[in-house]
Amino acid sequence: MLTAYIPGYYYMDYWYLILVVPALIITVWAQIKVSTTFKKYSKYAVGSGLTGVQASELIQQRHGLQVPCSQIAGSMTDHYDPRSNSIRLSETVYGVSSVAAVGVAAHETGHALQYAEGYWPIKLRMRLVPITNFASAASPWLLMLGLVLSFLPLAYLGVAFFGFAVIFQLVTLPVEFNASARALSALVEGQMLTQDELKAAKKVLSAAAMTYVAALLVSLMQFLRLLLIVMGRGRRND
């Protein structure tokens, strides 16, 4: 909470309880949902024996791509790295023949397709990364100094800087939803899964998508909380 780093400024943070806590509860629910869904469909073997890495390679072949695909440690650590234009699949996906593994691998390959085709939201998200990192690091200090010194323009600047985190999460949504849509489309076109297997893969990707919606909600509620705190301080100073 904001009170943790503002010396001598103590109060009951009702806005945190009203806005942020419910959003955090939804985030925990979304994380549990994606974890349990992934585990459930990790036990659902693909009839053809197709593995995660093989699914990625087949999708790439159909689209004329040759993006390196390597295995990394952990579970649900899968990601596409635009800096090196490579796909990293976890131990529970790379060489595993399950509906969950194939769905996740196809999703990450969907990001590679986005990058290859110049999909503008993923390009925008890449450009936002350094800006968001800087703004997120500077925001707490600007807020703290602005409130402690009662210099509200500085505090409002801190709120504005935090807004970049909201923008980043907002841009992330179409990137992730589009990657999942591309994944399912590629799986259908390549006839890699049966109809029942496709339905299961869609459930895995839908559960994963909810975590990004929850992340946006938390950022938005945190932004609103900080804005209300600064506005409240302004009214007390009048």
* Cα 11 from Cα 20, distance rounded (Å): 16
Average pLDDT over residues 165-178: 97
> Is the per-residue pLDDT at 7 higher than 60?
no
Range of the domain at 6: 2-46+99-237
71 lies in some domain: no
86 lies in some domain: no
147 lies in some domain: yes
Using alpha carbons only, what angle is made at residue 167 by residues 180 and 2, rounded to the nearest 5 degrees? Answer: 120
Helices 195-237/120-148 angle, 10° precision = 30
pLDDT-derived band of residue 9, with 50, 70 and 90 as boundaries?
very low
* Cα 3 from Cα 235, distance rounded (Å): 18
Catalytic residue among 57, 91, 108, 189: 108
> Measuring CA to CA, which residue among 36, 41, 58 is closest to residue 93?
41
Contacts of 6 (CB under 8 A, 6+ apart): 144, 147, 148
Is residue 91 flagged as an active site residue? no
75 lies in some domain: no
How many structural domains comprise the chain?
1
216 lies in some domain: yes
Model pLDDT for residues 32-63, shown as the tens digit of each residue: 999 999 999 999 999 999 999 999 999 999 99
The sign of the dihedral angle between the CA atoms of 100, 177, 56, 80 is negative
Average pLDDT over residues 185-206: 97
105 lies in some domain: yes
pTM flag (> 0.85): yes
Average pLDDT over residues 149-162: 95
The sign of the dihedral angle between the CA atoms of 16, 21, 24, 26 is negative
41 lies in some domain: yes
* Cα 201 from Cα 197, distance rounded (Å): 6
Average pLDDT over residues 133-154: 94
90 lies in some domain: no
pLDDT-derived band of residue 13, with 50, 70 and 90 as boundaries?
confident
* Cα 32 from Cα 38, distance rounded (Å): 10
* Cα 122 from Cα 82, distance rounded (Å): 9
